[in-house]
Structure 1
Amino acid sequence: MHIDILTLFPQMFEGVLNHSIMKRAQDMNAFSYQTIDFREYTENKHNKVDDYPYGGGAGMVLSPQPVFDAVEKGTAPSEEKPPRIILMCPQGEPYTQAKAEELAQEDHLIFICGHYEGYDERIRTHLATDEISIGDYVLTGGELGTMVVMDSVIRLLPGVLGNEASAPEDSFSKGLLEHPHYTRPREFRGVEVPEVLLSGNHAHIDEWRHQQSLKRTYERRKDLLTEYELSPKEKQWIDSIEKNE
């Protein structure tokens, strides 16, 4: 995978993308990236990338020309299929694990990081293929959101996590929150590891983990269960949880 990032602040990405899993993913050639300062593509003498909105109003709006030109002239060429051009904005599609899994199948992603009051609408309607929001709040720019999306996508690329079973067991990957985890010591400050995890009976362990995953989802994110098709056995577990409340 190759990723192009259009941003006015390229230096913001250096720390995030050159450490930990992101660094390892680059070292194993799972992905490559370049940051593109779209201010370099402006055609005015003051290198302005924004202007006052037509019709008046607060704030400044990103102009289409430098963004279009940066995509068309500065990004890597796509050999087989067109890239996904992702606009980070609070009006976008709420970001989910399913979207991360979808984007992880692509060969070329282009992220556009906005600033100021917003984008000229022509960027949204005639350039972007996707609009993504990482939450119902507003940030000063799209850089942090882009980092979040990149991290969630890159960790899904083959071999990046090392253990291929890690990603499928993550929260949201199966529609539920992940089950609790324990490690050594067996007892810590009076709290012991659940006996079932020490039993060596993997069938019982798997069932316990699934029950705990369902319980945690019910208690913390009940809204997720509206999209989750419960089996008869899972319905019994939910009934038991409700009775014990």
Structure 2
Amino acid sequence: MANKIRQSVTPHPGEQHQLGGEQSKLNWLRAGVLGANDGIVSVAGTIIGVAGAGSNIRALMVAGFAALAAGAFSMAGGEYVSVSTQRDTERALLDKERWELKNCWDDEVDELAQIYETKGISPATARTAALEAMHTDALYAHATDELGLDPNELINPWSAAFSSFVSFTTGGLIPLLFALLPIPAVGTIICIVMAAALALCLTGLVSAKLGGADWHKAVVRNVCMGLGTMLFAWLVGLVFNTATGA
């Protein structure tokens, strides 16, 4: 009876191992945080850019809602197309691997043994390991070690699209809600910038924690890039305001 393949590795203290489904979940979480980050910057930048052109509160609200709707659907659609293409490629690679395993078994054993040799394993041990792995689950062994894929964890384009839509919308609602406050335009812009900066601190912190990186640098980098984008958008609006004499 074939031995069950170990699906996880016990990490040393202070280390993070993400394998299989855990890595997939981490990637979706990171993508969700980045989507929210895009929503914050895109919607805030659009509103501030329109404000730089001297528009009234109603125009700011319309611009914000338009940016939120267009950005959310654009991200969802782009993610669906991109992930669908990647999934099709992964399926094609797995189909090719199945054919090779059926028709070129000995060559596939040699190939897997060579892969193990590149990791520092002696030729004899590498061949023994390849034979054992292939007799346990040949497709899984070649998918993970040769292709870098988990045949049981292929990405889902619909999940990716939905995740992008929700994360972008969630992030974009933060500056948009402040645009709805019944206060003068200057106060609205100040509130949007402050809210966006705080939200960017949070997304930078979460992103760094998910990746095990230094959160101080991540937060500063995230906030500076976001505020820089909003400043550039405001300057563009100001240029149009000056050019049209509004």
Q: Which interval holds the TM-score relative to the shorter structure?
A: under 0.3
Whose radius of gyration is greater, 1 or 2? 2
Structure ranking higher in helix proportion: 2
User: What TM-score comes out, normalization by structure 2 length?
Assistant: 0.21
